[in-house]
């Protein structure tokens, strides 16, 4: 077994990776995945964030909408497929726009990419990190999904991709977006609106229970910590941070979450070095003190522990 320093692991959080893909309306938290697939979804609702910005919730993952003076709209994520029509209608009304012209996929998961088909058919620009596009070109199996997911048709796949960072002018904003490395998938991105001082953090951040750590599509716990370090370099004390799930937070919460995930990472590394199995690691309860706030941690810890295999024990 190759042993690296913990500092080395955090530095490796920005490492690149390859990908593949899927389509569904599945869950967003490993702790809630089964319940999320069967629980009734609430009706999508819109909350104004000012300056022709709105947050749409209740249709899968959070959707950030930005309107422009010429009647166009930009969305960061699109909710799930089942709620897509309602989300798109609500988003357009909330920002006084007539057509969605640009959609960002912050990662490949179904609660974020459910509007790709409809908007791709309309000719919208769909932007994603290249790894996300790759995942959306093929069937994928993951243990948190109820069944294998088919590839997206070409029209629904991202049609503009990038690798590290890029910018886009829209609605009076120069949006800055960047890859967060291998984090909760290997294609996670953030999208920052500097004038509004709003940061869409995608699936790396959940303020509503444990996030899904999708180790089978390139996510890992060390990378999750590294992604928070990147987000905190973008955010400032007055930034409004939009998580994939849950209410808007600020930089103080980013710092709190980062420290929690680092503590879990550090403990899981120690358990792996001792030669423990995933079940044994879960039994050690390395996230016990966080459960009062975040809920039972077993599934998150199991995924976090397994995510170390490719970095500490490539032959596991």
The 3-class SS string of the chain reads: CCCCCHHHHHHHHHCCCCCCCCCCCCCCCCCCHHHHHHCCCCCCEEEEEECCEEEEECCCCCEEEEECCCCEEEEECCCCHHHHHHHHHHHHHHCCCCEEEEEECCCCCHHHHCCHHHHHHCCCEEEEEHHHHHHCCCCECCCCCCCCECCCCHHHCCCEEECCEEEEEECCEEEEEEECCCCCCCCCEEEEECCCCEEEEEEEEECCCCCCCCHHHCCCHHHHHHHHHHHHHHCCCCCEEEEEECCCECHHHHHHHHHHHHHHHHHHHHHHHCCCCHHHHHHCCCCHHHHHHHCCCHHHHHHHHHHCHHHHCCCC
pLDDT in tens, the chain (316 residues): 333 344 443 444 333 333 333 333 333 233 333 333 323 356 899 999 999 999 999 999 999 999 999 999 999 999 999 999 999 999 999 999 999 999 999 999 999 999 999 999 999 999 999 999 999 999 989 999 998 888 999 999 999 999 999 999 999 999 999 999 999 999 999 999 999 999 999 999 999 999 999 999 999 999 999 999 999 999 999 999 999 999 999 999 999 999 999 999 999 999 999 999 999 999 999 999 999 999 999 999 999 999 999 998 765 5
With contact defined as beta carbons under 8 Å apart, do 233 and 272 qualify?
A: no
Say what the pLDDT of residue 26 is. Answer: 31
Is the domain 14-260 a CATH 3.30.1360.120 member? no
Take residue 85 and report the two structure tokens written for it.
Answer: 């029509």
Q: What confidence score (pLDDT) does residue 152 get?
A: 97
CA nearest 206: which of 236, 184, 180?
Answer: 184
Quick one: pLDDT at residue 148? Answer: 86
CB-neighbour burial class of residue 168 (10 A; exposed 0-12, middle 13-18, buried 19+):
middle
**pLDDT at position 149, please?**
82
Domain boundaries defined on the chain: 14-260
Q: What is the pLDDT of residue 315?
A: 57
Non-local (6+) Cβ contacts of 177 within 8 A are 104, 127, 162, 165, 166, 167, 168, 189, 190, 191, 192
- The Cα-based distances of 255 to 26, 189, 241, 249 in angstroms read 29, 18, 12, 11
Count of beta carbons in the 10 Å neighbourhood of residue 247: 13
Write down the pTM of the prediction.
0.87
Neighbouring-strand partners of residue 57: 45
Which phi and psi angles does 210 have, rounded to 5°?
-60, 135
Which residue is associated with the tokens 């959070």? 62
The Cα–Cα gap between 188 and 7 comes to 21
């Amino acid at each position: 077994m190759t042993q690296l320093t913990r500092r080395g692991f955090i530095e490796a959080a920005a490492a690149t990776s390859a990908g593949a893909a899927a389509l569904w309306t599945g869950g967003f938290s490993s702790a809630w995945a089964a319940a999320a697939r069967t629980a009734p979804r609430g009706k999508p609702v819109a909350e104004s964030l000012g300056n022709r910005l709105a947050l749409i919730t209740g249709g899968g993952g959070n959707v950030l909408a930005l309107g422009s003076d010429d009647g166009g709209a930009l969305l960061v994520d699109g909710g799930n497929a089942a709620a897509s029509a309602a989300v798109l209608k609500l988003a357009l009304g909330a920002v006084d726009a007539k057509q969605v012209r640009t959609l960002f996929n912050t990662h490949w998961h179904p609660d974020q990419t459910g509007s790709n088909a409809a908007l791709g058919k309309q000719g919208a620009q769909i932007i994603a990190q290249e790894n996300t596009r790759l995942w959306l070109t093929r069937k994928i199996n993951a243990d948190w999904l109820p069944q294998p997911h088919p590839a997206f048709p070409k029209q629904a796949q991202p049609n503009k991709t990038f690798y590290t960072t890029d910018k886009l002018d829209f609605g009076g904003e120069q949006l800055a977006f960047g890859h967060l490395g291998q984090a909760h998938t290997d294609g996670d991105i953030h999208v920052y609106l500097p004038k509004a001082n709003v940061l869409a953090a995608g699936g790396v951040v959940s303020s509503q229970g444990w996030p899904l750590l999708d180790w089978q599509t390139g996510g890992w716990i060390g990378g999750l910590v590294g992604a928070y370090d990147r987000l905190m370099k973008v955010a400032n004390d007055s930034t409004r941070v939009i998580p994939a799930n849950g209410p808007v937070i600020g930089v103080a919460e980013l710092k709190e979450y980062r420290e929690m995930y680092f503590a879990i990472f550090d403990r899981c590394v120690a358990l792996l070095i001792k030669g423990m199995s995933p079940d044994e690691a879960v039994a050690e309860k390395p996230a016990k003190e966080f459960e009062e706030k975040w809920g039972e941690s077993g599934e998150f810890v199991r995924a976090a522990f397994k995510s170390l295999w490719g970095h500490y024990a490539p032959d596991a």
